[in-house]
Amino acid sequence: MQLNVEGLSAAKREVISSIAERQKIDVICLEETHVDKTNRFSIAGFDLLAYSLHAKYGRATYVRDNISDAHHVTSSVCYDVIRIGSYHVGSNDLK
């Protein structure tokens, strides 16, 4: 699931978690999180694998917490890449 969230509030995190649960989503890629503190990133049922802190932009990539073969691969100013098994998933935040 990929979303431009225009800010990652507690209420939005709850809605994202609920949607992901109902739709059986394994990976969440969020753009424009507008988060500059790591304690604002938690989403129930998911582990945060990659993130970029920024008060105006920012991004975050999550994987379901019961998936054990998921790892952060690389990040840059504009993108993150994670690996789940033999698959690579990329997310970007191009301006």
Per the CB < 8 A criterion, the answer to whether 43 and 17 are in contact is yes
- Distance (Å) of CA 81 to CA 10, 41, 43, 90: 25, 18, 19, 4
Q: Which residues contact 6 (CB under 8 A, 6 or more apart)?
A: 32, 34
Give me the pLDDT at residue 94, please.
64
Write the CATH number for 48. 3.60.10.10
Give me the pLDDT at residue 85, please.
93
How many structural domains compose the chain?
1
pLDDT digits 0-9 by tens, 25-84: 999 999 999 988 777 889 999 999 999 888 888 899 999 999 999 999 999 888 999 999
**pTM over 0.75, yes/no:** yes
How far, in Å, CA of 95 to CA of 48, rounded? 23
Range of the domain at 72: 2-92
Give me the pLDDT at residue 33, please.
92
